[in-house]
Amino acid sequence: MTLATIRDSAARNKMMNKLTDKAADALLCAGICLIWYSITMVVGTPPLRSFLTAHGMLMPALCLLELVVLVPLYCRYRQRCGIAWGTFSLRPWLIFSLLLLGLIYSQSFWLLQEGWTASQLGGETQVSAWRVAGFSLAVVVLAPLVEEIVFRGFLLQALLIAVPGQRLACALLTSFIFAALHTQYTHLQTLFALAALSLLLCFARFYGGLKLSVTLHMLNNFIGVAPWLWITFVH
């Protein structure tokens, strides 16, 4: 066997090992997304879902369970999968926040009102302070952290590993899946709004890591529940 043949064989083996490692990382990222989906399906079983909703605990219980499971998985595999947490920088946060506010403002002209939030709070005439507080904590703090880890973290990274160099396509597919899995909403306009939000968050993650996308997601959700907080604790 010649030296050139040995070198070619070593190069092929190295390439195959690299492809195998990439495939394993992509499957790992996808598997963690499936773990998240399994949690939502278990909590969403009719008897448990009805019980938690009746007591105003559906979102707090779901988000807390997801947090307990997924944050340790992220901490363990973020370096292997290349999902950086990032560092906070004021300028990009302000730029993306303005883009987010512009998106929210534009949606005010065509977005239809959903009844899901009111259903979680017991209806507009039976809202209690503890329900609003628990729901707001889950939606503003816990849900953005979990969803960014899952969607702009592991799901987006699985797609980027599978088709490197196609950031826009991966962001679009991630956003479509993100919107489609929010089955609690009934209006098609809401799904378009969620996809647009996800696309913005994907580019925020590209620019500043998950920390930027998480804080933007928190801001978006806070704006969504702010009227309920105002009515319950201020008005």
Tens digit of each residue's pLDDT (9 = 90 or more) over 135-148: 999 999 999 999 99
For residue 97, what are the CA distances in angstroms to 27, 143, 210, 229? 33, 18, 15, 21
- Helix, strand, or coil here: 124? coil
> What are the tokens at 25?
């990382």
Neighbours of 230 (CB within 10 A): 10
The owner of tokens 């008005």 is 235
Q: What is the pLDDT of residues 58-105, one digit of tens each?
A: 999 999 999 999 999 999 999 999 999 998 899 999 999 999 999 999
Q: Which of 135, 153, 161, 143 is nearest to 40 (CA)?
A: 143
Q: What is the pLDDT of residues 28-58, one digit of tens each?
A: 999 999 999 999 999 999 999 999 998 889 9
Chain-centre distance for alpha carbon 37: 12
State which amino acid sits at residue 31: G
Grade residue 127 by pLDDT with cuts at 50, 70 and 90: confident
The owner of tokens 């009102």 is 113
For the chain, what is the domain count?
1
33 contacts 146 by C-beta, under 8 angstroms: no
Within a 13 Å sphere around the CA of 225, how many CA atoms are in the beta-carbon half?
24
- For 13-72, give the DSSP string: HHHHHHHHHHHHHHHHHHHHHHHHHHHHHHHTSHHHHHHHHHTT-HHHHHHHHHHHHHHH
Domain around 160: 3-234
